[in-house]
Structure 1
Amino acid sequence: TLSQPIYSGGRVIDETRQAKNLVYAARAQLLATEQTVFLNVVNAYVTVITDTQVLALDKNNQTVLERQLQATRDQFNVGEITLTSVAQAQASLAQAVEQVAVAQGNLQIARENFRQLVGDYPGNLTPPQPLALPVTSKNAAAQAALANNPNVVAAKFADAASKDAIDVAFSALLPVISVQASGYTQSDPTGAGTSTRGGSVLGQLTVPLYQGGAEYSAIRAARAKEQQSFATVTDQQRTVFAQATQAWEALVASRAAIVSTNAEIKANAIALDGTEREEIVGTRTTLDVLNAQQLLLNSQVQQVQNIATLVNNSYTIAAAIGRLTATDLGLPVNQYDDLQYYHAVKYAGFGTGESADSNAGIAPNGTLLHVNQSQVAP
């Protein structure tokens, strides 16, 4: 006996559409994960660069203050200044030593974080430049985020799948039509050596009348889940809108801060030079020189942080608008082809997926094909 469903209340079509929407949502989530990884690596990279530069500034400041302390002691020994000036120089040097120790600790933390993400400690890193963005205004960034952010796209497809789930649940209330075909062979019980063969083809219509209310409960549950999915779409849209606009404002602010801090560095350098000259002739004190040196260091450190903020915000905007993938960045790396995998298995009636994995660039052990395993984290 063979039985073939002809119509099942639209359930098969609805489930197929739901499965496709879930696949599309998963592909968008894959892009979101890829962007998160890239953004974390960029932040780690920039942090290593920043902490390295800050450590260099702090070490240079320590060297300058060591010379300053020695000069102050020489002046004290010949009676030109008091012990107070020596103590002030010693205090400034002690603070500088502390700053160097803190900077070294921060750099080691940054290096460990980099290794956690990349799989190896950083070598000689080149200071990165801000990423060139395809948008030129805050409004354009916000609109691009609403349209292209993979989290928003995933939420929309998940909501579409939830709508399909309502249709799937509703199909339980609709009639089912199927065709049954059967055949038989019957031997003559008298032993005359004859037999009778026959067959039948029947159409069957099943109309649900009452099933205990379970189907209505499933419809209500599906509708409630769809409302939750729709709320998730709204939440994701608001989140990425805020991410894009906030990062854009921070980008603009960091550009302005770089310009003003650059002027501050030049002014502090001139002020330090003048203060040192005035100390020689006795119109300024050792404390004045130490304060001027600290102001210059502070502005230099601030400039390093301003540049790091500018770079990070440019990549944050790219992630918000869905443009921080290996393809968008033009990286010469092996990539998992999720679209190829989808086309390889979407109509597969059987099989465990090894061939589809190979077509998509995945080895049987789960790693990407043609990747140098020495570069993979242990």
Structure 2
Amino acid sequence: MKRNWLQALLFGAALSAAAAFQAGHSWADTLFGAMEKAYVTNPTLNAARAGQRATDELVPQALSGWRPTVTVQGEVTSESSRAPSFFTGEQEQDRTESGSLAIRLNQPLFRGFGTVESIRAAEAQVDAGRQGLLETEQQMLFNVVQAYMNVYAGRQLVSLRKQDVSALEAQVRASNERFAVGEITRTDVAQAEARLAESRTALVDVQTRLAQDVAFYMQMVGNEPGRLSYPKISKLPPSLKAALDIAGEINPRLLAQAFVEVASNAQVGVARSGLLPSADLRAAAITADPDFSVEGNGQRSASITAAISIPLYEAGLVYSQVREAKQRASQSRIELIEIARDVRRAVAESWNAFVGLAEIIRNTRTQVRAAQLALSGVQQEYQAGTRTTLDVLDAQREVVQAQVLQVQAEKSRVIAGYQLLAAIGKLTARDVGLKVPVYDPEANYLRVRNKWIGTGVETIDGNGE
């Protein structure tokens, strides 16, 4: 049964991929459109949302420490015995049926502040989980940006390499013609053929990488990319200092660790509660009948008990648990410092990369124009006989290399811009302005926080709902 289900799932995925492939590039995709679709359908993000809903249950579990427990216990006993009669000596059978029913209630009154600290820890874990969900959202959207730009740039590189192959094929044909009339040597022809083989290899390489990038795009977005356009970059902070300030306030990774530290400190109180007194209020109602055959033989009783327990020595276990919790809290504080430094580094790196790539793009555009002008001049001089075949081949290579550098720089600048947004914490559907219903993790939390009974849940489906 499981195998059939898996086969059906794989077959459906294959059909979807085939349909997307057959559709080709007849539709257009924008970067925001790709991010919007991934935000709704990406399984990694939807799984994280489902995981956060599970984390929400930590709070009602902690709140249960305030609530009573009620149990019902019933027993029915049937006992039979045989004994010789005193008068006749024959075996006589005696059968007795009895039963009891007890209802017990236990209401915790005090748990050494353990319940209070457990609730505090659970709420902090929920808050940390929400920030972790934002971090997952940012990483997924950044993956979409990378996939989009890799495909966009990859298609440009394939086009450039194809043009280079065509130009070199024409060069080889021209070289063979000139060799046939004795204008150049066999060496010139061999140089052109070698450069053509090199260009064809480069074309195969970029085509292979483009196929890989398309596969990654489909993994992130769910369909094959259509016609892509160079995207605009969302509004960025005006300075590095502003970016660092924003990151210090809203970076989800940093905030998540801050909430983890709060939860770790609360766990110290949870562990310490084992050294403090506890108090309970207990109530019980019991009815028992030692013999169902005798009327009026039932017994009923009810009781209310206030109980207090004071631990004196727990074999050193609780003391060790308190020390462990303190060390965990210390670890969380240190990790918060580490993450803060890492966030600052990531912001600074992405900012400097974004700024530097703007200058690189300007330089590569100048380089492309100059290389194209040089190629045109060398080709004219080659026709006049003042330049060699190798000169033309080198000039052609410089043009292609400059164009490749320009494409790569333009791609890298967009990626660096969105990487900066992710580093400061603003690469979210809400901040970027995606036209999708923004997922609200608090809705499920409020739904389950004070729920006393029931096993029904609202799960996440494949569309993030």
Indicate the TM-score class for this superposition, using the shorter chain for normalisation.
Answer: 0.7 to 0.9
Q: Secondary structure at the match of 1:226?
A: helix
2:464 aligned with 1:368, yes or no? yes
Output the amino acid matched with 2:464.
Answer: L
2:270 aligned with 1:168, yes or no? yes
- What are the superposed Cα offsets for residues 17-39 of structure 1, whole Å, 9 maximum, x if unpaired? 11101111111111111111111
Match of 1:278 in 2: 381
Match among 33, 48, 59 for residue 151 of structure 2: 48
Structure 1 residues 68, 10: CA separation in 2 closer, same or farther (over 3 Å shift)? Answer: same
Kindly state the Cα deviation for residue 197 of structure 1 after the two structures are TM-superposed.
9.1
Q: Distance in 2 between matches of 1:297 and 1:345?
A: 61
Kindly state the Cα deviation for residue 196 of structure 1 after the two structures are TM-superposed.
11
Match of 1:123 in 2: 226
Q: Secondary structure at the match of 1:178?
A: strand
Contact map agreement 2:247 2:423 (CA 8 A) in 1: yes
Structure 1 residues 181, 352: CA separation in 2 closer, same or farther (over 3 Å shift)? Answer: closer
Q: Distance in 2 between matches of 1:137 and 1:147?
A: 16
Match of 2:70 in 1: none
Kindly state the Cα deviation for residue 130 of structure 1 after the two structures are TM-superposed.
2.7
Q: TM-score, normalised by structure 2?
A: 0.72
Q: Secondary structure at the match of 1:265?
A: helix
Kindly state the Cα deviation for residue 77 of structure 1 after the two structures are TM-superposed.
2.1
Q: Distance in 1 between matches of 2:158 and 2:326?
A: 58
Q: TM-score, normalised by structure 1?
A: 0.87
- What are the superposed Cα offsets for residues 4-49 of structure 1, whole Å, 9 maximum, x if unpaired? 2222211111111111011111111111111111111211111111
Structure 1 residues 284, 348: CA separation in 2 closer, same or farther (over 3 Å shift)? Answer: same
Q: Distance in 1 between matches of 2:125 and 2:140?
A: 22
Q: Secondary structure at the match of 1:5?
A: strand
- What are the superposed Cα offsets for residues 297-332 of structure 1, whole Å, 9 maximum, x if unpaired? 100000000001101111111111111122222222
Kindly state the Cα deviation for residue 137 of structure 1 after the two structures are TM-superposed.
1.6
Match among 255, 264, 289 for residue 358 of structure 2: 255
Q: Secondary structure at the match of 1:242?
A: helix
Kindly state the Cα deviation for residue 183 of structure 1 after the two structures are TM-superposed.
6.5
Q: Distance in 1 between matches of 2:168 and 2:286?
A: 105
Match among 397, 401, 405 for residue 302 of structure 1: 405
Output the amino acid matched with 1:62.
Answer: V
Q: Distance in 2 between matches of 1:261 and 1:228?
A: 48
Over the matched positions of the two proteins, sequence identity in percent amounts to 37
Count of aligned pairs between the two proteins: 358
- What are the superposed Cα offsets for residues 178-199 of structure 1, whole Å, 9 maximum, x if unpaired? 3345678999xxx9x9x99986
Contact map agreement 1:261 1:299 (CA 8 A) in 2: yes
Q: Secondary structure at the match of 1:127?
A: coil
Structure 1 residues 281, 197: CA separation in 2 closer, same or farther (over 3 Å shift)? Answer: closer
Q: Distance in 2 between matches of 1:99 and 1:344?
A: 57
Q: Secondary structure at the match of 2:228?
A: coil
Output the amino acid matched with 2:225.
Answer: P
Q: Secondary structure at the match of 1:130?
A: coil
Kindly state the Cα deviation for residue 286 of structure 1 after the two structures are TM-superposed.
1.6
Match of 2:248 in 1: 146
> Which moves more between the two structures, 174-183 or 78-87?
174-183
Q: Distance in 2 between matches of 1:42 and 1:315?
A: 7
Contact map agreement 1:130 1:310 (CA 8 A) in 2: no
Output the amino acid matched with 1:77.
Answer: A
Match of 1:317 in 2: 420
RMSD of the alignment, in Å?
A: 2.5
Structure 1 residues 145, 5: CA separation in 2 closer, same or farther (over 3 Å shift)? Answer: same
Q: Radius of gyration: which is bigger?
A: 2
Structure 1 residues 69, 209: CA separation in 2 closer, same or farther (over 3 Å shift)? Answer: same
2:279 aligned with 1:177, yes or no? yes
Q: Distance in 2 between matches of 1:80 and 1:132?
A: 59
Output the amino acid matched with 1:325.
Answer: T
Structure 1 residues 68, 228: CA separation in 2 closer, same or farther (over 3 Å shift)? Answer: same
Structure 1 residues 185, 287: CA separation in 2 closer, same or farther (over 3 Å shift)? Answer: closer
Q: How does 1:221-236 map to 2 (within 5 A)?
A: 221-236=324-339
Match of 2:168 in 1: 65
Match of 1:375 in 2: none
Q: Secondary structure at the match of 1:177?
A: strand
Q: How does 1:83-122 map to 2 (within 5 A)?
A: 83-122=186-225
Q: Distance in 2 between matches of 1:337 and 1:345?
A: 14
Contact map agreement 1:334 1:368 (CA 8 A) in 2: no
Q: Distance in 1 between matches of 2:241 and 2:434?
A: 28
Kindly state the Cα deviation for residue 334 of structure 1 after the two structures are TM-superposed.
4.4
Structure 1 residues 282, 233: CA separation in 2 closer, same or farther (over 3 Å shift)? Answer: same
Kindly state the Cα deviation for residue 344 of structure 1 after the two structures are TM-superposed.
0.8
Structure 1 or 2: larger strand share?
2
Structure 1 residues 353, 163: CA separation in 2 closer, same or farther (over 3 Å shift)? Answer: farther
> Which moves more between the two structures, 150-159 or 230-239?
230-239
Kindly state the Cα deviation for residue 142 of structure 1 after the two structures are TM-superposed.
2.4
